[in-house]
Amino acid sequence: MQARSRATGITAASLGVLLALAACSAPGDSDSEKGSGSGPIKIAIVDAQSGQLASLGDWEAKGAKLAISEWNKKGGIDGRKITATVFDDQGDPTTGTNIARKLASSGYIAMIGTSESAVTVAMAPTLGEAKIPNITSGQSTALVAQKSSFLFLNGPTSITYDSTLADYMVKTGGYKKIAMISNNGSYGTGEHDAFTAALKEEGISPVADQVVTTDQKDFSAALSHIRQAGPDAIFIGSEEVEAGLIVKQARDLGIKVPFAGGAPQGTPVFIDTAGAANVENTIVSSPYLSNEADAASQKFAAAYKAAYGKDAELHGAKAYDGANILLTALKTSKIATGQKLADAIRATRYDGLLGDFKYDATGVGIFKTTIGIIKGGKLEAAQ
């Protein structure tokens, strides 16, 4: 759902298991038992558990673990328990690559994660060579460009998020003078390019286009330039924390127009960082707007709250859907591994919290988002 904490070296702690549903010494841990038909089914959950992307990783790990727990309570798959181990990629491609090597040598048959597209892209060659299917929460078109038959997305790409957003802003909102501020990371770059293309389709060029760094904290220069351009709305292509800081500083500079963006702008972290009053009327494009959207969302949110004592949101829902897709494919394929498991995932049709998944050859399975507006500190469906 995508500023980073960068590792300068790989330590045992950074590659170690942070959380697990079962002991690592359980039967089935050895390479020889990978897909052998006995022992636990080993799945890895890889996401940032530290650094500025830790909130994303925490949400997604919880969503995936919830789905796995529900399957285990029903007996697992063909009588075999599913074990999930969480690894901290720190939002760093180098750390992710080292984790991918560990998964390839340790008997994991599938991976859920990561939320950071650059990390997923870095891991893809190793996972592909090892024939380990990966259901990722990233949304960059760079994921599709990998052309890996083992890489699947559990949500739409930036193209879907931003074409929906631009269409609403221009045709429904009537905004014509739109400014942009995005970061130079994988998520920000993907959002920048997708939204610029979407605006072009609407016949609009941004009145200002500012790019900041992922670790930047002072945005006064970029925001002053935007203020001088006199926009009637501002698009943000940045993760939750940085986006919240941008909005807060914009309001301090007297910029009063609405902000707009993708999934990060619909999260509690964004709202809390910026301040609820500052994000009022923010426009958000997302496939999961509310825990109250329908009966399935309400059931998921209740189970998430019961398990973790926290409210669910989009990223947890994405990982929950992704885990259920993987487990359904394992069930229908009789716990296949490698290419057969990847083929089973691609063939899976799943009615999820985010919508109806039907994978194409690119590894994308859903092509729709909905527009929400933040009102009173909460994201609500646009009227």
**DSSP β-ladder status, 370-375 and 283-286:** antiparallel
Where does residue 156 fall: left (phi above 0), alpha (psi -120 to 50 degrees), or beta otherwise? beta
Q: What distance in Å separates the CA atoms of residue 121 and residue 66, rounded to the nearest whole number?
A: 26
**What 3-state DSSP class applies to 69?**
helix
Q: What is the mean pLDDT of the chain?
A: 90
The model's confidence at residue 37, banded by pLDDT at 50, 70 and 90, is low
Which of 81-90, 185-194, 318-327 is the least confident region? 185-194
CB 360 within 8 A of CB 149: no
Rg (C-alpha) for the chain, rounded Å, is 20
237-260 per-position pLDDT tens digit: 999 999 999 999 999 999 999 999
| Alpha carbon distances (Å) from 215 to 3, 35, 330, 332, 373 | 4, 42, 40, 44, 27
- Three-state SS for 42? strand
Structure tokens at 315: 């990223």
CA–CA gap between residue 66 and residue 105 (Å, rounded): 26
At 38, the pLDDT band (50, 70, 90 cuts) reads confident
Between 271 and 4, the higher pLDDT residue? 271
Contact 89, 47 (CB under 8 A): yes
The three-class DSSP label of residue 342 is: helix
Helix (H) or strand (E) holding 62: helix 54-73
Angstrom distance (rounded) from CA 151 to CA 148: 5
Residue 130's CB is within 10 A of a number of other CB atoms, namely 17
Is residue 53 left, alpha or beta, with left meaning phi > 0 and alpha meaning psi from -120 to 50? alpha
362-376 confidence digits (pLDDT tens): 999 999 999 999 999
Spatial contact of 162 and 191, defined as CB atoms under 8 Å apart: yes
Distance CA 310, CA 316 (A): 11
Beta partners for residue 259, in sequence order: 234
Which pairing describes strands 151-153 and 134-136: parallel, antiparallel, or unpaired?
parallel
Q: Two tokens at 345? A: 């995932």
Cis before 114 (ω within 30): yes
Q: What is the pLDDT of residue 186?
A: 87
Q: What's the CA gap between 145 and 27, in Å, rounded?
A: 37
Residue 21 has pLDDT above 60, yes or no: no
At 52, the pLDDT band (50, 70, 90 cuts) reads confident
Going by their DSSP bridges, the two strands 110-112 and 41-47 should be labelled as parallel
pLDDT single digits (tens) 284-307? 999 999 999 899 999 999 999 999
What are the residues facing 110 on neighbouring strands? 43
Number of Cβ within 10 Å of residue 129's Cβ equals: 11
Residue 126: asked if its preceding bond is cis (omega within 30°), the reply is: no
Q: Which two tokens stand for residue 145?
A: 């460009």
383: pLDDT confidence band, cut at 50, 70 and 90?
confident
pTM across the whole model: 0.86
